[in-house]
């Protein structure tokens, strides 16, 4: 029974921003459990190399190249996916942007870049991929959309992150509104709000992050790959089929301790 509850073998997933960081963690977790995974990145060579490295005996990882900051490339990505697959069981909207975000230094372009990639792109991808998501959905085993938000969208940190925090809060709300709309199509929409996970987007080094979190995370450590994989696999499997419209902090208790 446990194996059936958490089994995702044979499903098809698309993970944006999958060439590193949290997206890479998620892609590796899917492939190891038999999910045919489409990994989306901007750089053709890197995306191809990472997909080849992730593929293995248990699963298949395939590269798709797109700069998701460009609406035309978002539409092209959805069309390209449809040429390969009729069904999409799991869409992970992970691609995101950070940038200079102080009140004094932030520019209109920096604000727009963050908002467009973090909010508009996930919405447009859902629009473009609705047909394969609906084709994969059933009442017993819905199709899944997992948006990667941030605890920065749940609270105001001690540093300036105005556009980033606003964009992630917007993504959390978009998650709820899409969940209400798509639940009738047997498609669940949930968000994960990670706390500190050492990645290339983290402003400090992995070692610095590990030392700092000991002072403000109740579990006294940063997030690790298996933590992210476990939650995404739960949301993507039969075990998470009745979870819809929620944002789950994955933060070792940080939000609870504020």
Catalytic positions, written as ranges: 164
Q: Which residues pair with 15 in a beta bridge?
A: 39, 92
Residue ranges with strand state E in the chain: 12-16, 36-41, 61-65, 90-93, 143-148, 187-194, 247-250
**Alpha carbon 30 to its chain's center:** 13
CA atoms within 13 A on the CB side of 237: 21
Phi, psi at 62, each rounded to 5°: -125, 135
Question: 225-236 vs 21-32: helix axis angle to the nearest 10?
Answer: 60
Sign of the Cα torsion 114, 14, 183, 8 reads negative
Find the radius of gyration of the CA atoms of the chain. 17
């Amino acid at each position: 029974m446990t194996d059936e509850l958490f089994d995702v073998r044979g499903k098809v997933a698309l993970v944006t921003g999958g060439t590193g960081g949290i997206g890479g963690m998620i892609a590796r977790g899917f492939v190891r459990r038999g999910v045919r995974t489409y990994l989306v990145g901007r750089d053709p060579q890197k995306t191809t190399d990472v997909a080849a490295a992730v593929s293995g005996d248990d699963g298949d990882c395939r590269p798709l190249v797109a700069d998701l900051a460009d609406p035309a490339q978002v539409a092209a990505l959805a069309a390209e996916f449809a040429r390969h697959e009729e069904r999409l069981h799991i869409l992970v909207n992970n691609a995101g942007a950070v940038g200079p975000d102080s009140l004094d230094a932030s520019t209109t372009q920096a604000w727009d870049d963050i908002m467009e990639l973090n909010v508009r792109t996930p919405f447009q991808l859902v629009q473009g991929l609705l047909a394969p998501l609906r084709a994969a959905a059933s009442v017993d085993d819905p199709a899944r959309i997992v948006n990667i938000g941030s605890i920065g969208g749940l609270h105001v940190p001690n540093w300036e992150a105005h556009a980033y925090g606003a964009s992630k809060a917007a993504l959390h709300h978009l998650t709820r509104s899409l969940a209400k709309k798509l639940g009738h199509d047997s498609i669940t929409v949930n968000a994960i709000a990670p706390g500190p996970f050492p990645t290339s987007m983290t402003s400090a080094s992995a070692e610095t992050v590990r030392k700092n979190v000991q002072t403000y995370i109740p579990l006294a450590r940063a997030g690790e790959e298996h933590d992210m994989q476990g939650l995404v696999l739960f949301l993507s499997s039969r075990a998470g089929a009745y979870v819809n419209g929620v944002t789950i902090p994955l933060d070792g208790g940080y939000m609870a301790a504020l």
